[in-house]
Chains A and B, each alone.
Chain A
């Protein structure tokens, strides 16, 4: 029994730490890239797969009960909503783009 618990712990921790690594990559690239659309690409990575991986890890760590079902609902909701918000932000950037095209052409 104890070995099974340890295996569950290691599996969940792997998923959680993978999500954390994605979050760290997101933060670094958000500071390093120099245009909004590039930055948004990095941010969307964290918004979908970062939180998805860490919540799957938490689900494995928690075992099966009501919290797990609700966490699954959060993951499904985020997979629906986060790409749409990224899409709208990109549209906003394209609509409000001004000045010279330093980073390539933005077609309206």
Chain B
């Protein structure tokens, strides 16, 4: 930025400071979005956006202060944020699928248990019906026997 013209240098300074302020405000808005986001993907998107903005800030600072090492840090930041998104998304996907499979297994187990309970209840009911039927038959038989005995007694009289 050593152009030798005073007006150009002051305009450069004001341009960079203004852009940095705007980026800072937008970074804060990104943070609000990350807190608000209802799903995991929302938060990851906003964190990725924050990474992009921080990289822009670093590049602007590197040009403004004329320090080349800040761009090295910028490259490292890009790498790490890319890696973070990849690993996080893969891990969360795996965990979610595992959970889904576990809940499915539990659901099938529950269905099986309910089926066995139903079968048991049906068996119990059928047994009760059989017992009732046998009781009825016995009752009718006893009634018949009693009637016959009465008839015999009347005939003997």
Contact = CB atoms under 8 A, between A and B. Distances in A.
A and B touch in the complex (CB under 8 A): yes
Given A26-B49, A36-B45, A9 B11 contact: yes
B5 to A, nearest CB: 6
A46 B44 contact: no
B102 to A, nearest CB: 15
B150 interface: no
Q: B56, B66, B79 — which one has the most chain A CB atoms within 10 A of its CB?
A: B56
B41 interface: yes
A81 B82 contact: yes
Interface stretch (B88-96, B105-113, B131-139, B141-149): B88-96
Interface residues of B, number: 48
A61 B1 CA distance: 8
A64 interface: no
Contacts of B56: 19, 23, 50-51, 54-55
B57 to A, nearest CB: 10
Interface of B: 3, 5, 8, 11-12, 15, 19, 22-23, 26, 29-30, 33, 37, 39-42, 44-46, 48-49, 52-53, 55-56, 59-60, 62-63, 66, 68, 71-72, 74-75, 78-79, 82, 85-86, 89-90, 92-93, 96-97
